[in-house]
Structure 1
Amino acid sequence: MKTQQALNYERIASAICFIRENYREQPGLEQIAEHIHVSPFHFQRLFHEWAGITPKQFLQYLNIGYAKKILKETHATLFDTACELGLSGTSRLYDLFINIEGMTPGEYKNGGQDLDINYSFEDTPFGSIIVASTGKGVCHMAFADEGEEKALANLQSLFPNAAYKQTLDTKQQNALSVFNQDWSKLQEIKLHLRGTEFQLKVWETLLKVPAGGLTTYADLAAKSGYEGACRAVGTAIGKNPVAFLIPCHRVIKATGEIGNYHWGEVRKNAIIGWEAAHL
């Protein structure tokens, strides 16, 4: 006999398949709930418990993925893109991009046009790193494990139409000072982040975790104002555009396990130990 947990998983899996197959018709809560033979109220609660987001938000993520593909790979207008997704017009497409991507569809389509980005490569105690900045602040920092050419290509894929210059500016220097155990200039570090309201809130909360300290996904979700949304918070952490400065390495599992890290579990252990030792 199947457990309740197994039955719930089958229902959620069936609902996700239905949403993915019918997202162009923009199915509503009642329609999806009817497909898996539960009430809309029960389905909403069940889906949120499992995924940490609502069915509507899940559908929005599918919409944004398809819209980005259309805008990137075709010459479709914003109106044509909205129609292809089954949206009523460009205003809904605009709202979708603002809510999910933190930018307008036009800004996504132009890929950072008119944006000047300085970048440099520096050695840190944990390996080579690429750091990039705009006139507003640091917009990207990542460990260059696959070499400088690959690291630069990853940065350029985020802002394909921006103008790039390899130079070390003051904003980058202030950011890199943390690798010298100098936490006195934290207030001078400026960030230029692009993200959703949800992501920005999670990253802001992460910045409040002190060096040498640790937190859990559940605790971070609660302090961000999204109690119970551990999976969604984990996804936001994985989208962190600025390694180390936004300290996603300080988030561990409630069991005490270190957990995954975008740049490797070994590096995560090393950073946590390094911070604790120097404080």
Structure 2
Amino acid sequence: MNDNIPLNNHYKQIEKAIQYIDTNFKEHPSIEEVAHNVGMSKYHFIRVFKEYVGVTPMQFLHSVTLNYAKEHIKESKSILDSSLDIGLSSSSRLHELFVNLIGVTPKEWKEKGKDVQITYGFGQTPFGKALIGFTLKGICYLGFYDHNKEEVFQRFNELWENANLIFDEKLANEYLENIFIKNKKYPLLVKGTNLQINVWKALINIPDGQIITYSDVANRLNKPKSVRAVANAIGKNHIGYLIPCHRVIAKSGAMSGYRWGIERKKLLIEYEKNRKE
């Protein structure tokens, strides 16, 4: 195997690897098998593949499998049929794949949240009015608003369009008080792509009172060339404050791109900064 080919000459090998994975993903080829097929050693292949594609070969294989499962499951009569068709040992393995990557089960994906019970309500926070939604698994929505109450509800409703929504303003305000006044921690139930979820995890790890740039987030994810994709993922965050997208600013220092208002973003940053001091 010739591992001394310059990086910019590896394109054809990576293209061949992607084609091999697309064709053989149901057989779950090992990384060694894919690397051998393109004439590279395992660890060199992993490094070069990630440099070109932005994810590891195993992450790419999971993504291809998941995308196929999402389409196949729409037509399948049972989850087990889908599991067997893509070569997984049981429906529990398919369930694990969905949970790890996108935070919802195959059944919830297929039925777009049908029978998922979400309690929601409107209330006051130190940073203005907010809509909060939560399930037994965790908080699934937190959005601020000023006068656009219908707009924030529409966003929430579109995200969980077939869920069973239960309005309980008293309980919603208890949650908001616990979060903003008592600083109580809750699990978060997110719905998004693998990239979005990884970006949101990175945001949670930004220390309280600290601000970083979109480039910083991309670098933390080892995706320095994917700043725009990372920014788009940050913009899709549907759990404000708890997933602190307000702590990310442009490289120029501009406070841009906050769906709940630039002034609120400035206020959140100053509040956390002063609290830390």
The interval holding the TM-score normalised by the smaller chain is 0.5 to 0.7
Give the TM-score normalised by structure 2.
Answer: 0.66
Mapped to 1, the partners of 2:15 and 2:173 lie a distance apart of 45
Give the TM-score normalised by structure 1.
Answer: 0.66
1:193 — aligned with what?
Answer: 189
2:155 — aligned with what?
Answer: 151
Moved more, 90-99 or 51-60: 90-99
- Structure 1 239/56 Cα, relative in aligned 2: closer, same or farther at 3 Å? farther
Mapped to 1, the partners of 2:13 and 2:252 lie a distance apart of 31
How many angstroms does 1:129 deviate by?
Answer: 5.6
Q: Following superposition of structure 1 onto structure 2, how do residues 168-207 of structure 1 map, counting pairs within 5 Å?
A: 168-172=169-173, 174-175=175-176, 183-187=180-184, 190-194=186-190, 199=197, 203=201, 206=204
Mapped to 2, the partners of 1:8 and 1:273 lie a distance apart of 45
- Structure 1 204/39 Cα, relative in aligned 2: closer, same or farther at 3 Å? closer
Determine what percentage of the aligned residue pairs are the same residue: 29
RMSD across aligned positions (CA): 4.6
Mapped to 2, the partners of 1:15 and 1:80 lie a distance apart of 28
1:90 — aligned with what?
Answer: 91
For the 8 Å contact 2:140–2:188, the answer to whether it is kept is yes
Mapped to 2, the partners of 1:4 and 1:259 lie a distance apart of 40
How many angstroms does 1:82 deviate by?
Answer: 1.5
How many angstroms does 1:176 deviate by?
Answer: 7.5
For the 8 Å contact 1:120–1:168, the answer to whether it is kept is yes
- Structure 1 164/58 Cα, relative in aligned 2: closer, same or farther at 3 Å? same
Instruction: Note the residue ranges of structure 2 that are not aligned, 5 or more in a row.
Output: none
1:77 — aligned with what?
Answer: 78
User: Number of paired residues?
Assistant: 259
Instruction: Note the residue ranges of structure 1 that are not aligned, 5 or more in a row.
Output: none
Mapped to 1, the partners of 2:21 and 2:75 lie a distance apart of 24
Q: Which amino acid aligns with 1:155?
A: L
Q: Which amino acid aligns with 1:154?
A: E
1:209 — aligned with what?
Answer: 207
Mapped to 2, the partners of 1:7 and 1:270 lie a distance apart of 48
Mapped to 1, the partners of 2:254 and 2:49 lie a distance apart of 27
1:163 — aligned with what?
Answer: 164
Q: Following superposition of structure 1 onto structure 2, how do residues 1-279 of structure 1 map, counting pairs within 5 Å?
A: 6-8=8-10, 11-34=13-36, 36-71=38-73, 73-102=74-103, 104-106=105-107, 108-109=109-110, 112=113, 115-120=116-121, 130-135=131-136, 137-142=138-143, 147=151, 150-157=154-161, 160=162, 162-172=163-173, 174-175=175-176, 183-187=180-184, 190-194=186-190, 199=197, 203=201, 206=204, 209-211=207-209, 213-216=210-213, 228=222, 234=230, 240-252=237-249, 255=251, 261=257, 263=259, 267=261, 270-278=263-271, 279=274
